[in-house]
Amino acid sequence: MTKWKGLLLAVLLLLIVGLPLGVVYVNNLTNFAPPAQEMKTVWADQGWTNDERHWFHHAQQGTSTFGMPYEWLIAMEQPHLTLGDAGLLMDQRYLSRLGFIPSPVSVKDPAAARAYGYPTSGASTKNGKYAREDSNVANLPVGFTVGDEWKDVADGHTWPLPGTGRNARTVGATCAACHTGQLEYNGNRVLVDGGAAMISLDQFRKALEVSLAMTKFVPGRFGRFAERVLGPGASDASKAELKAQFDAAFKKGKKKLDLEKSVEDKGVTEGFTRLDALNRIGNQVFQQQMDRDENIYPTSGPVSYPVIWNAPWFDWVQYNSSIQQPMIRNMGEAMGVAASVNLSKPGPTLFEAAIPVENIHEMEVLLSGSEHPVTAGRFGGLRSPKWADLPLPPLDQGLVAKGRDLYMGDAASGRAGLCVRCHLPPIDSKEILEPKYWSDAGTGYSQRYLALVTIPVEEIGTDCKTAFDMVYRTVISSKEIGNSSTLIPLKSHPPECPPPAAPPPLPSGVTRTNFGVALGEVVEKTKMAWYEQHKLPKDQYEEMDGFRPNGIRATVASAAGDVPVYKARPLNGMWATPPFLHNGSVPNLYLLLSSQAERDAEAAKFFLGSRTFDPKYLGFAYRATRSTALPDSPLVADTTGLFELDTALPGNRNTGHLFTDDKAPGSIGRRLTPEERFAIIEFIKSL
């Protein structure tokens, strides 16, 4: 009877709402993963104290990611069809079903910290400023932060809480939401700072959208919502004012959702472990913040959440090697997750932003460490996780040695390594500190950075959408914004990434600029407005810029001319970051060391979202049925709520980075025997 009651409510909701939201989501309201199993939680020792880690998880970045204030978000109920209280959406146990990591309110109490896996040995802090207050008084998961009073810098409007005499506060995502990894093995849940998140922002957005619809239309929900937001005993007038606010926000949210759905068929679904971050940042900045609907773009080039240890010392970052300056990267990220910035109203406040730039810089320092690696003789800051320190099977040292030989080669005998020419020597080796691996990257500063290898997309053969989107996408902006009208021509392209159709003529008063170039220009002006407003001397903002210019590029010079590229990075800690390739299209490292035919036979479609770790093939469980090629790989016990990735779709392709003897497109090495693959895997575990 309960099932039929739920179905009836679903049908009624669909009839009442009459929205695309109802059509898309009603049949999937409860299609989330089951509650996470109880396990022992273990944080990897990566050089941070408890205070540093907890601060990074919840430090303010000025973001208001969810289109509503903190007081509203914590009052929303879970998207279950019931006439009674459905439980709170922001309950940490519920959000763990979507891949978010529970976090304590404080780490000052060692017993409470240990309950969340924080080590006793990391209890003291090296730097008191990270321990000045409890970082998570709101009791939210890793990667959520509560900010200051909600204020739109473009028009000065705040968000009043009717009848209370108070204004609402912001709530948003931080770097840690997307860059904290987790894996489950043998009763342990291992958590990794700076790793690839296991979250599904698709499912969180779905849950939030359905919760909003139910708050509006399901009897009793708005009354409970109003009592949580305004407090018990709020007047009818205050509730009516809150209802008007809610209806206006709902209408605005529906418009945004409809706009995204209008281009949905031109892109792909991201699912767990992936996000089309650059295009979503572009939509937030150029469509939302500039209020220009013509700048909407589909999520067509998703990437796995990149790991961020050692990244502050790289010459260029992003999978397509497109961004050089840390402050531009980090302010652009904050703007992309809805920090308040004025890009729509010309005048003296144009480019003004409510972004705590000091926090953003401090995060970068915490990641990088205070000393240059060459000077210190090692990389400091956030270290990559060490396999041997965690509750994982012991390494086979003989196999590690064989894998090192394959990975590194032997210079004395002239035998080339299979991996070192692109991924460089191990990050903890003396060799990596040699001058030949470091460059000033054309910055004009004396500081030197680890020069990563870049490979043209058509040579490496991996999915082209992420890199070519950066070339093809253009945005329109007003003359007041002052974008440069730079466009990027290409001489060639893969068949899967043809150039877009010629755009329509521009109306007067606007410019059309390559998306990446325009983003760099807009973030630069926003950054400089903040520096000037806070009267920073030049030497201080050069330091905050990481002694690097604002380098934004969509192509890199090569023998074939200027071409889109993907970069290779050192592979330390990458064992903890499946699935592989930039778009997460290969489920484990064994298949990454394979031919195209092997990949397609084994994982042309596979599930994303399981956290069950496979230490043999180095991946997560990805199939619900037994494999003939990898018969002892773990199975997904329950596919409810998981995302099935179809590698036949552009943006999801599992091509390239192949090991084969047939010189197929994207081949980078000879065919490897199973024994050789396992040896390389064992060596990578040791990095």
Query: Residues 635-681: pLDDT tens digits?
Result: 998 999 999 999 999 999 999 999 999 888 899 999 999 999 999 99
Is the pLDDT reported for residue 24 higher than 70?
no
Give domain status of residue 6, yes or no: yes
Percent of the chain scoring above 90 in pLDDT: 83
Give domain status of residue 430, yes or no: no
Is the pLDDT reported for residue 442 higher than 90?
no
Residues 242 and 159 in one domain: yes
The predicted structure's pLDDT at residue 112: 82
The predicted structure's pLDDT at residue 495: 92
Q: Rounded to an integer, what distance in angstroms lies between the CA atom of residue 470 and that of residue 474?
A: 9
Tell me which residue range forms the domain holding 449.
269-384+439-570
Give domain status of residue 71, yes or no: yes
Tell me the residue type at 316.
Answer: W
Is the pLDDT reported for residue 306 higher than 50?
yes
SS3 content of the chain, % helix, strand, coil (to 5): 35, 15, 50
Angle ∠(270,272,277) on CA atoms, nearest 5: 45
Give domain status of residue 524, yes or no: yes
By mean pLDDT, which of 13-22, 322-331, 376-385, 433-442 is the weakest?
13-22
504-529 mean pLDDT: 95
Whose CA is closest to 274, among 104, 455, 465, 117? 465
28-40 mean pLDDT: 75
Q: Strand pairing of 556-558 and 561-563?
A: antiparallel
Extract the tokens encoding 407.
């990975």
Give domain status of residue 433, yes or no: no
Residues 86 and 200 in one domain: yes
Residues 579 and 566 in one domain: no
Q: Rounded to an integer, what distance in angstroms lies between the CA atom of residue 42 and that of residue 242?
A: 43
Whose CA is closest to 264, among 214, 202, 210? 202
402-416 mean pLDDT: 90
The predicted structure's pLDDT at residue 123: 58
568 contacts 172 by C-beta, under 8 angstroms = no
Residues 604 and 557 in one domain: no
The predicted structure's pLDDT at residue 612: 97
Is the pLDDT reported for residue 330 higher than 50?
yes
Which of 225, 245, 262 delimits the end of a domain?
A: 262
Residues 151 and 258 in one domain: yes
189 contacts 102 by C-beta, under 8 angstroms = no
Extract the tokens encoding 223.
């009354």
* 78-97 pLDDT per residue, tens: 998 888 899 999 999 999 99
The predicted structure's pLDDT at residue 124: 55
Average pLDDT across the chain, whole number:
92
Q: Which residues of 106-138 are buried (b: 16+ CB within 10 A; e: fewer)?
A: bbeeeeebbebbbbeebbebeeeebbeeebbeb
Is the pLDDT reported for residue 29 higher than 90?
no
Q: Rounded to an integer, what distance in angstroms lies between the CA atom of residue 5 and that of residue 235?
A: 33
88 in helix, strand or coil? Answer: strand
The predicted structure's pLDDT at residue 133: 66
Residues 241 and 292 in one domain: no
Give domain status of residue 414, yes or no: no
Give domain status of residue 419, yes or no: no
32: Cβ contacts below 8 Å, ≥ 6 apart: 97, 98, 203, 207, 640, 641
462 contacts 456 by C-beta, under 8 angstroms = no
181-197 mean pLDDT: 97
Q: Which residues of 65-98 are buried (b: 16+ CB within 10 A; e: fewer)?
A: bbbbbbbbbbbbbbbbbbeeebebbbebebbbbb
Extract the tokens encoding 282.
């572009």
* 333-362 pLDDT per residue, tens: 999 999 999 999 999 999 999 999 999 999
**Please, what is the end-to-end C-alpha distance for the chain in angstroms?**
55
The predicted structure's pLDDT at residue 125: 54
Q: Which residues of 251-287 are buried (b: 16+ CB within 10 A; e: fewer)?
A: eebbebbeebeeeeeebbbbbbbbbbbbbbbbbbbbb
Residues 533 and 484 in one domain: yes
Is the pLDDT reported for residue 34 higher than 90?
no
For the chain, state the CA radius of gyration.
25
By mean pLDDT, which of 124-138, 189-203, 469-483 is the weakest?
124-138
Give the dihedral sign, CA 53/57/61/62: negative
Per the document, the length of the chain is: 687
Whose CA is closest to 100, among 204, 199, 180? 199
318 contacts 551 by C-beta, under 8 angstroms = no
290 contacts 477 by C-beta, under 8 angstroms = yes
Extract the tokens encoding 494.
């893969």
96 contacts 141 by C-beta, under 8 angstroms = yes
Asked if the bond preceding 579 is cis, omega within 30° of 0, the reply is yes
Which of 217, 241, 262 delimits the end of a domain?
A: 262
Number of domains, the chain: 3
Residue 549 φ then ψ, to 5°? -75, 175
The DSSP code sequence of 59-105 is: ----B-TTSS-HHHHTTPBPS---SS---BTT-HHHHGGGTPPP--S
Which of 197, 231, 262 delimits the end of a domain?
A: 262
Give domain status of residue 407, yes or no: no
146-152 mean pLDDT: 94
Residues 520 and 474 in one domain: yes
Q: What does the longest C-alpha to C-alpha distance in the chain come to?
A: 84
Give the dihedral sign, CA 224/67/56/100: positive
- Give the confidence band of 446 by pLDDT, cuts at 50, 70, 90: confident
Residues 328 and 284 in one domain: yes
Residues 195 and 238 in one domain: yes
104-130 mean pLDDT: 78
The predicted structure's pLDDT at residue 20: 40
Is the pLDDT reported for residue 14 higher than 80?
no
38-65 mean pLDDT: 94
Cα distances (Å, whole numbers) of residue 613 to 97, 181, 500, 585, 616: 17, 12, 40, 17, 9
The predicted structure's pLDDT at residue 25: 42
The predicted structure's pLDDT at residue 238: 98
The predicted structure's pLDDT at residue 65: 93
Residues 548 and 585 in one domain: no
Residues 588 and 658 in one domain: yes
Q: Rounded to an integer, what distance in angstroms lies between the CA atom of residue 122 and that of residue 110?
A: 10
Q: Report which DSSP code applies to 122.
A: G
